Amino acid sequence: MIAAPPCMLSSIEQHADMTTLKSGMGERAPLRLIIGGGGAVLIGSLFMPWAGDRSGWEFMTTTDVFFLIVGIIALAAAITGGHIGVFRPDVSLNAAADLFSVVSSVLIAWLLIFDFPSGASREVGVFLALAASLAIASAAGDYRVLHGASWFPRLDSRESADVE
């Protein structure tokens, strides 16, 4: 049997029940379902009526493509668990899904409140898109407490020397 490194002993000794240690592995599984379901609903809402008889694709000019991208990123985050880096190693798919879904929530809320065409009725697609964006944002966000960790960690001295 291989002995645990000294740095791990304290955390193992704190948790007498080994199921407590294993429970963290599948802890985000329900959140992955919410992220993936929100992405699928967001994409599906683009094909539903948004204003009168017009679907999300017909109603908007460019933001519909943004909503499609948000849905695809959310599906990718749900499938992969969100641990793959996007353009940078410190930005995960979960972070991208969270960021983009917050922006899409603001865009849809702005559309509903201020920018909806006068005389057009608000249909089910726009409300489903808003609900899906909010679901993705709330499930993909990491709201854990930092426990004393810095919000802006300092770079290693070697890395800061490379930047200069």
Residue 61 has pLDDT above 90, yes or no: no
pLDDT at 78: 93
pLDDT in tens, 100-109: 999 999 999 9
Which residues contact residue 136 at a Cβ distance below 8 angstroms, ignoring those fewer than 6 apart?
A: 34, 35, 38, 39, 42, 70, 74, 97, 98, 101
pLDDT at 17: 40
pLDDT at 164: 53
pLDDT in tens, 86-138: 777 777 888 899 999 999 999 999 999 998 888 889 999 999 999 999 999 99
- For residue 7, name the pLDDT band (cuts at 50, 70, 90): very low
- For residue 162, name the pLDDT band (cuts at 50, 70, 90): low
Domain residue ranges of the chain, discontinuous segments joined by +: 48-142
Residue 25 has pLDDT above 70, yes or no: no
Look over the chain and give the mean of its residue pLDDT values, rounded to a whole number: 80
pLDDT at 10: 43
Q: Letter for the amino acid at 95?
A: A
Please name the residue ranges forming H helices in the chain: 6-14, 18-23, 29-45, 56-59, 63-80, 93-110, 124-140, 157-163
pLDDT at 156: 66
Per the model's pLDDT, the better-predicted residue between 163 and 123 turns out to be: 123
Q: Is the pTM of this model over 0.85?
A: no
